[in-house]
Structure 1
Amino acid sequence: MVQMRSTEAISKIKLISSMMVFGTIGIFRSYIPYSSGLIAFVRGVIGMLFLLLVIVIGRKKIDLLAIRKNLPLLCLSGAFIGFNWILLFEAYRYTTVATATLCYYMAPVIVIIFSPLILKERLTLKKGLCAISAIFGMTVISGVFGDASSDIRGILFGLAAAALYASVIFLNKFIKDIGDYEKTLIQLGTAAIAILPYILLTENISEISFDTRSTLLLVIVGILHTGIAYTLYFGSISRLGAQTAAIFSYIDPVVAVILSAIILKSFGITDLVGSILIIGAAVFSEISFKNFKKTLDKQR
């Protein structure tokens, strides 16, 4: 029992860490002068190569049997990640960032709604209320109510990206007995392959040039925000309840908003209220009042 709780605690730390890293990618993205599609492809390739290097240098044994056993789900999940990135980029093209972000972060809601059906997880009243709080907080932060210029195509692209994001969480719950490195390596590689046709269709490859600063930032995004962050992410969601993973996903946009406030000095009262609602929902959803009461009783 103690070991299970320890494993769960470590998984939550990994998940929170990955969400905090994901929340910083927007700052890096703003200083990289390339298209979102190209950045996504490069980050997938660099992330995959970085993990391969870690495996080789660390002389970690690749479990080919585990990869073969889970290959269909790994490839499907990886392809969904790639298509997810593409759809999100298209959402940004056709609507505002606020609207696209709000639509995209309907993914945790999809997970919470369908986890009782797909994973047989019980949806408690507490989890449901926390999900509603997180959704409301995300809505407040997004500023979507103050924008009336949303294109239906952008909204549909954002919701489709959310559905794929939710699908990745569900698929990873069925990937069993495989190391975090192998799992992430295959999924990032498949994501890059899925994005490649999109790049070839939308980019003029011959006109792309790389300078030192942009290359360095791309390497950081590939290693930190992709290789390391996705290893932490995939290594945690398979060991946690889907509803827990869903609610904790809202830490990502909160970090993005806070960083924006620090760097761009743009943090209003609505951002503060939204952030409190989201972080409060994540913390409150994981508090066990029964265990808390038992601890108080023991101290008495």
Structure 2
Amino acid sequence: MTQGNKARLMVVVSMLIFGTIGVFVKFIPLPSSVIAFARSVIGTLFLLIVSVVSKNKPSFSAIKKNLPILLALGTFLGANWILLFEAYRYTTVAVATLCYYLAPVFVVLVSPLVLGEKLTLKKFIFSVIALFGMILVSGVVGGENTVSVTGMLFGVGAAVLYASIILLNKKLKDISANDTTIAQLGISAVVVGIYVFFTEDFSAMSLTGKEAVLLVIVGIVHTGIAYALYFGAVKSLKAQTAAIFSYIDPVFAIILSALFLSEPMTVIATVGAVLILGSTLVSELTDK
């Protein structure tokens, strides 16, 4: 398997893992911001333990060399989660998700300027098709959503940060995926932790043993492992490719919610999912 195909497989697996998080979070009775804080802390600790046990300790020299970018990335990751949570508060999940997944389009359009990647007409068309598919999947079409401008602005802000994370990761030099993930998750834990401290009341929160296990799984699998795969893949892929692949996440999430949570998946949403997956697949197959 070539390095490029390995990276594609890694980003697809990470998106599939991200897509399952909703099924787990559904059964964790904590505010989304607290879950985000817990997952970043657990993910960081898990990767640190793995590094020590495998005798592959983090390279502090590599982290120090890339520290300015890592600080920005960790801050963006934490702020990205926060803005998305605020979008959910002010508008519907559908509208917030639609705004959030403008990020791949931002990456496709900006990467030629920031990274010097060539923007082909084919890539642009497929990204637009994927975006249209996302509009159908989100449920905005055919629904009776009351759109909040504030919620939309939070969602678009989260999208800008998500796009920035994809682009900035391409600027990292001579640092392993494990070190990158540990640094970014650790910094994001601080950012989200500050937000949670001022916005949530911990005294009213409690978990059963089963719920605690689910939270640990979210921290280890959906955060530590998934982000390690994702950040490791992004370095070897064009930013445009990584961006388009990110549409797999919401599609898989909606399919799983229909299968396991009995949440309805309409014909329109199904058409949207086909457009997203089809445009992603054809884009990559014709890119070889």
TM bin, normalised by shorter chain, reads: over 0.9
Deviation at 1:196, TM superposition (A): 1.2
**Distance in 1 between residues matched to 2:93 and 2:144, nearest whole Å:** 11
**Distance in 2 between residues matched to 1:42 and 1:124, nearest whole Å:** 41
For the pair 1:46 / 2:46, whether they are aligned, the reply is: no
Indicate which of 258, 262, 270 corresponds to 2:268.
270
For the pair 1:61 / 2:50, whether they are aligned, the reply is: no
Kindly provide the CA deviation profile for residues 121-156 of structure 1, in whole angstroms up to 9, marking residues without a partner as x: 111111011101100000001111323411111000
Match of 2:233 in 1: 236
Match of 2:86 in 1: 90
After TM superposition, list the pairs within 5 Å mapping 1:147-296 onto structure 2: 147-263=144-260, 264=262, 266-288=264-286
**Distance in 2 between residues matched to 1:28 and 1:176, nearest whole Å:** 35
**Distance in 1 between residues matched to 2:17 and 2:131, nearest whole Å:** 21
Kindly provide the CA deviation profile for residues 244-263 of structure 1, in whole angstroms up to 9, marking residues without a partner as x: 01100000011011112212
Letter in 1 for 2:169: N
Q: CA RMSD in A?
A: 1.2
Deviation at 1:238, TM superposition (A): 1.3
Indicate which of 101, 104, 110 corresponds to 2:100.
104
Instruction: Calculate the TM-score normalised by the size of structure 1.
Output: 0.93
Q: Secondary structure at the match of 1:144?
A: coil
After TM superposition, list the pairs within 5 Å mapping 1:9-88 onto structure 2: 9-88=5-84
Kindly provide the CA deviation profile for residues 188-247 of structure 1, in whole angstroms up to 9, marking residues without a partner as x: 000000011111111112332232121111100000000000000000011100100110
**Distance in 1 between residues matched to 2:83 and 2:60, nearest whole Å:** 32
**Distance in 1 between residues matched to 2:219 and 2:95, nearest whole Å:** 26
After TM superposition, list the pairs within 5 Å mapping 1:136-155 onto structure 2: 136-145=132-141, 146-155=143-152
**Distance in 2 between residues matched to 1:123 and 1:227, nearest whole Å:** 32
Contact 2:92 2:145 survives alignment (8 Å): no
How many aligned positions are there?
286
* Structure of higher CA gyration radius: 1
**Distance in 1 between residues matched to 2:105 and 2:64, nearest whole Å:** 32
Gaps of 5+ in 2: none
Gaps of 5+ in 1: 292-300
Deviation at 1:265, TM superposition (A): 5.6
**Distance in 2 between residues matched to 1:20 and 1:167, nearest whole Å:** 22
Letter in 2 for 1:155: M
